[in-house]
């Protein structure tokens, strides 16, 4: 079926991002564009980017790219999972103040709709929300709110109460109702459904880290991607969930140009297609230097990693033991259990082990992160599982703190 003019314009926006803003492109490709005539402009719930075709057709390509990037930024910053019981209108406003300066730094056009230049640069949405509340700026009517700010709640509904989703709207719209300005963010699920919100947050974290890795590998990183990836390292989420999600996400699909997305080829728009891909080599690196690790911590980590391996079934599992050099390296046979003993001594230098794993699809490092020198990014998706709190996490890869 032929694309509508609005769909063509959105496809052009995404294609432009692939070449110029890969972080935003990778995030946008993980969501689908969905037409909704009951909204005025655009909005997102983390899974879809909703659009009103009249709005999309009325704006130029540069503006639409900016609004699509704005939606992506909401998701990258987990705004769709973090509202809680906050007033939806002011939460949207605070989120806009938080992301628009970063979008501007990344070269997107936000002047027409953006919340920039109000002194909130570098603040989180939560902190901005608290300041807006303290300053008494409410409902988009107070001084300093740009034209197009969220409108008043429907008559008879108190501010902060969940609104009913419009008929035919996705479940993610519950709690937010009808967006009223470009770039609104909807709740991923009902605010009281903490399990569903936690699941949405984990899924989004995987997307953000993947997008950040893609952008870095292309040499076109972004202010938004770096900031979002850094925030993930601070997230207080159970390390078991992060470990399992990391292994799962590296085994799903890859996007390849040689097999384009057939949904868009007929319109002359070529986007990379999703290609199912069995997981290649998973490398587990264990720091066996003289540092002391609680045996219970190692046992729990090995148990969780074994469960993830059993589920994903990578083509190969390699184990590398290292201190200042590689002490031992071996490949596990299918079904062979992880059985690692931290025997060794002396200092720590993870670089030889990391270099030996450059052909892996994913690397997991069990270490205290007490490195005498920085370790270099190998470009392979890497998860640092730190025990103790002596060392510092490297500035690249993902990170979990073990008990």
- CA–CA dist 112, 77 (Å, integer): 22
257: pLDDT strictly greater than 80: no
Res. 275 pLDDT band, cuts 50 70 90: very low
Q: What are 208-228's pLDDT values in tens digits?
A: 878 888 888 888 888 788 877
What CATH superfamily is the domain 276-401?
von Willebrand factor, type A domain (3.40.50.410)
Residue by residue, DSSP assigns 308-371 as HHHHH--SEEEEEEESSSEEEEEEEPTTPPP-------S----HHHHHHTTT-SEEEEEE----
- CA–CA dist 270, 262 (Å, integer): 8
Look at the block and give the residue holding tokens 């990693």. Answer: 305
Q: Which two tokens stand for residue 223?
A: 């202010």
Q: Which two tokens stand for residue 51?
A: 């659009």
The dihedral over CA atoms of 150, 58, 121, 94, expressed in degrees to the nearest 10, equals: 20
Higher pLDDT, 143 or 188: 188
User: Which pLDDT does position 209 carry in this prediction?
Assistant: 79
Q: What burial class does residue 94 get, using C-beta atoms within 10 Å of its C-beta: 0-12 exposed, 13-18 middle, 19+ buried?
A: buried
Q: Across-strand partners of 326?
A: 322
User: Which pLDDT does position 310 carry in this prediction?
Assistant: 84
Q: What are 342-369's pLDDT values in tens digits?
A: 776 677 889 999 999 999 999 999 999 9
- CA–CA dist 384, 209 (Å, integer): 13
Strands 382-386 and 362-367: parallel
| Percentage with pLDDT > 90 across the chain | 33
CB burial string 369-390: b at 16+ within 10 A, e below: bbbeeebeebebbbbbbbbbee
Long-range (24+ apart) CB contacts under 8 A made by 352-356 are 352/322, 352/325, 352/326, 353/285, 353/320, 353/322, 353/326, 354/285, 354/378, 354/380, 354/382, 356/283, 356/320, 356/326, 356/329
Q: Which residues contact 18 (CB under 8 A, 6 or more apart)?
A: 25, 271, 272
Higher pLDDT, 51 or 176: 51
Is the pTM above the cut of 0.85?
no
User: Which pLDDT does position 268 carry in this prediction?
Assistant: 54
User: Which pLDDT does position 376 carry in this prediction?
Assistant: 92
Q: Which two tokens stand for residue 47?
A: 């899974």
394: helix, coil or strand? Answer: coil
Long-range (24+ apart) CB contacts under 8 A made by 125-134 are 125/77, 125/79, 125/82, 125/91, 125/94, 125/95, 125/97, 125/98, 126/82, 126/94, 128/94, 128/97, 128/98, 129/86, 129/90, 129/91, 129/94, 132/90, 132/93, 132/94, 133/90
User: Which pLDDT does position 61 carry in this prediction?
Assistant: 94
CATH 3.40.50.410 boundaries in the chain: 276-401
Q: What are 176-188's pLDDT values in tens digits?
A: 444 445 568 899 8
- CA–CA dist 70, 28 (Å, integer): 11
- CA–CA dist 73, 79 (Å, integer): 9
Segment 330-335 mean pLDDT: 86
Segment 186-215 mean pLDDT: 82
């Amino acid at each position: 079926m032929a694309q509508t003019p609005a769909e063509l314009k959105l496809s052009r926006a995404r294609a432009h991002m692939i070449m110029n803003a890969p972080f935003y492109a990778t995030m946008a490709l993980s969501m689908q564009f969905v037409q909704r005539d009951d909204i005025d402009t655009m909005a997102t719930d983390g899974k879809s980017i909703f659009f009103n075709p009249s709005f999309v057709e009325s704006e130029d390509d540069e503006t639409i790219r900016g609004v699509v990037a704005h939606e992506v930024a909401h998701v990258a910053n987990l705004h769709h999972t973090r509202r809680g019981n906050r007033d939806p209108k002011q939460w949207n406003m605070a989120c806009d103040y938080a992301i628009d300066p970063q979008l501007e730094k990344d070269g997107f056009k936000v002047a027409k709709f953006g919340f920039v230049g109000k002194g909130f640069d570098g603040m989180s949405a939560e902190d901005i929300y608290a300041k807006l509340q303290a300053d008494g700026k409410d409902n988009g009517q107070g001084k300093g709110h740009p034209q197009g700010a969220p409108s008043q709640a429907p008559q008879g509904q108190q501010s902060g109460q969940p609104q009913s989703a419009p008929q035919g709207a996705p479940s993610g719209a519950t709690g937010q109702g009808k967006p009223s300005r470009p770039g609104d963010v909807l709740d991923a699920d009902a605010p009281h459904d903490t399990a569903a919100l936690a699941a949405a947050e984990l899924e989004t974290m995987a997307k953000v880290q993947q997008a950040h890795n893609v952008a870095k590998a292309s040499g076109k990183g972004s202010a938004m991607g770096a900031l979002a990836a850094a925030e993930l390292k601070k997230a207080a989420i159970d390390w078991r969930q992060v470990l399992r999600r990391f292994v799962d996400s590296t085994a799903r699909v890859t996007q390849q140009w040689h097999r384009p997305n057939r949904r868009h080829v007929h319109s002359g728009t070529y986007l990379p297609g999703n290609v199912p891909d069995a997981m290649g080599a998973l490398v587990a690196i264990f720091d066996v230097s003289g540092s002391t690790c609680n045996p219970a911590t190692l046992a729990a980590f090995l148990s969780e990693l074994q469960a993830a391996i059993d589920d994903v079934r990578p083509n190969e599992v390699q184990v590398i033991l290292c201190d200042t050099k590689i002490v031992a390296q071996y490949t596990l046979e299918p079904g062979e259990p992880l059985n690692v003993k931290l025997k060794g001594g002396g200092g720590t230098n993870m670089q030889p082990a990391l270099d030996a794993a450059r052909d892996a699809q994913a690397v997991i490092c069990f270490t205290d992160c007490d490195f005498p020198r920085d370790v270099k990014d190998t470009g392979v998706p890497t998860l640092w599982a730190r025990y103790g709190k002596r060392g510092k996490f490297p500035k690249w890869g993902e990170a979990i703190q073990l008990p």
